[in-house]
A = this chain, B = another copy of it.
């Protein structure tokens, strides 16, 4: 059964939604016993007309009957409900998880892909593809999109595409270079996204971690200054979320910093900031590029991260409270829910 549903999810996702809608209506009618169209429309939060269409359909299928005092389910409808319930549960498990996370962490949208990025590279690809789809839909001409680096976000760039080029979309790195392999750099990611979507990009040629002195001098540099202000005024941010310790090591910070991070309980890292498991900032890298206060102004903040091992970190970052859209995977989602506030 699982197999066929998986296939259908790919081939006819919209019809599965229709299925759920009809199931929900039927289910609600079953619960209510007898209920009128208007009342039902309000309690299901659909417009009366749409409900009517569905109800007419369900009636024609003999699943419910309509009398002058309202609608009630027929035996055939009851039977159908019993049979379909496990199916719906299975198909929309993730959908439910999505709305749980959405409401508990106060996000505007959560998308969960099945699987575990830690275990399957395919899941990570899927995560990227999904995020790419989301992003593509959001970007319009005139937008500035700033992106971080990392393998997940690179995967997003990989799956980005656009049938119609969006020429006036600008992609910029949120932060400077990180000294890792070139394809994971924010610069690379930004340029790749721009190319794939048919837009523009600008690069930020500075290292991500700066000393005070270098910071100040670079900030004076007109070319740097200009692009930094460009970055900081973006409309959309796409960023990864990492485990604090993993990221600290990857960024090759000193021993001292690492133990400091451990002491203050750093859990998550995102664009150079470290967060503890209450979502408080416990450390920041001295850097040009996007700052935390910019995030709070940014219209759309999209986090993309998956894998069971990252669940805790994602939860920690979400508690910071300025994420809008989260794209993650099933394994991480289950962790995230565990650490719900």
Residues of A at the B interface (CB closer than 8 Å) are 1, 3-8, 10-15, 18-19, 22-23, 56, 59-66, 74, 80, 83-84, 87, 129, 133, 159, 161, 163-164
Give the Cβ gap from A319 to chain B, nearest Cβ, in Å.
Answer: 33
4 A-B pairs closest in CB distance:
A65-B163, A15-B15, A7-B84, A7-B83
Given contacts A11-B19, A62-B133, 10 further A-B contacts (CB under 8 A): A1-B1, A3-B83, A4-B4, A7-B80, A8-B15, A11-B84, A15-B15, A62-B161, A64-B163, A74-B163
Q: A10-B61, A61-B10 are known contacts. Are A66 and B23 too (CB-CB below 8 A)?
A: no
Q: Judge whether A4 and B7 touch: CB under 8 Å.
A: no
- Which of B62, B66, B163 contacts A59 (CB under 8 A)? B163
Docked Cα-Cα span, A64 to B63, in Å, equals 38
Docked Cα-Cα span, A10 to B62, in Å, equals 9
Q: Judge whether B163 and A66 touch: CB under 8 Å.
A: yes
Chain B residues near A62: list those with CB within 8 A. Answer: 129, 133, 159, 161, 163
Docked Cα-Cα span, A14 to B161, in Å, equals 30
